[in-house]
Amino acid sequence: MTTSTRTQQTLTVHAIDPARLDAVREAGVDDFGNPVTAYAAAGQGEPLRCCLRFASPGERIALLSWAPFTEVSPWREVGPVYVHADRCEGYAGPGLPPELDRGPRLLRTYHADGSMDYGHHTLTGDEDLAPVIDGLLDAPGVATVHVRTVLPQCFLYAVTR
């Protein structure tokens, strides 16, 4: 219990940057040329990367191509993400998002310079992610952990200290 409380206070969760997402909505196309098309969520597990919760049936959402990193790098990969079609309240924490704080997940680790830290990638089961992420961020050289879906390995959110 004490570890979980300490963990929730020391982890900083990073959803998709709202300003960057606003620019995509305003342009009407994502950074990779795909049109931003709004549609009603089925409510079948679409994880929203803007507010870090699952979409409710009928909510206006969009599916975009997204790169978590903005700088040019071999580790800058693009993948699909669900977001609200219109600006939402975002995610303010504290701690990990309640609807996306358990596994199974792939936890990818990165160094401060944005390069991938191959030695600490972790595949979790159906467990509380906070203590696992906390331990990864204690590892030498690990500055950021990306929380991703298991099978398609889509980006959900990033965590730092």
Strand partners for 65: 80
Quickly list H helices, the chain: 2-10, 18-27, 129-138
**Residue 151 counted as domain residue:** yes
pLDDT for res 16? 96
Domain encompassing residue 67 = 14-84
pTM: 0.91
- Residue 1, CB half-sphere, CA atoms under 13 Å: how many? 0
pLDDT for res 73? 87
pLDDT for res 9? 52
**Residue 89 counted as domain residue:** no
Helix, strand or coil, per DSSP, at residue 62 = strand
Q: Tell which of 42, 62, 84 closes a domain.
A: 84
pLDDT tens-place values along the chain, 161 residues long: 333 444 445 899 999 999 999 999 999 999 899 999 999 999 888 999 999 999 999 999 999 999 998 888 898 889 999 999 999 999 988 899 999 999 899 999 999 999 999 999 999 999 999 999 999 999 999 999 999 999 889 999 999 99
pLDDT for res 72? 87
pLDDT for res 3? 37
Single out the residue of 36, 39, 13 nearest to residue 99, CA to CA: 13
Same domain assignment for residues 8 and 23: no
Same domain assignment for residues 69 and 98: no
Q: What is the tally of structural domains in the chain?
A: 2
Q: Which amino acid is at 140?
A: P
Which tokens hold the place of 134? 């906390």
Same domain assignment for residues 66 and 116: no
Query: In which region does residue 32 sit, left (phi positive, over 0), alpha (psi from -120 to 50) or beta (all else)?
Result: alpha
**Where does residue 49 rank: exposed (0-12), middle (13-18), buried (19+ CB within 10 A)?**
buried
How far is residue 15's CA from residue 84's CA, in Å, rounded to a whole number? 13
pLDDT for res 6? 42
The Cα-based distances of 109 to 53, 112, 123, 125 in angstroms read 22, 10, 11, 17
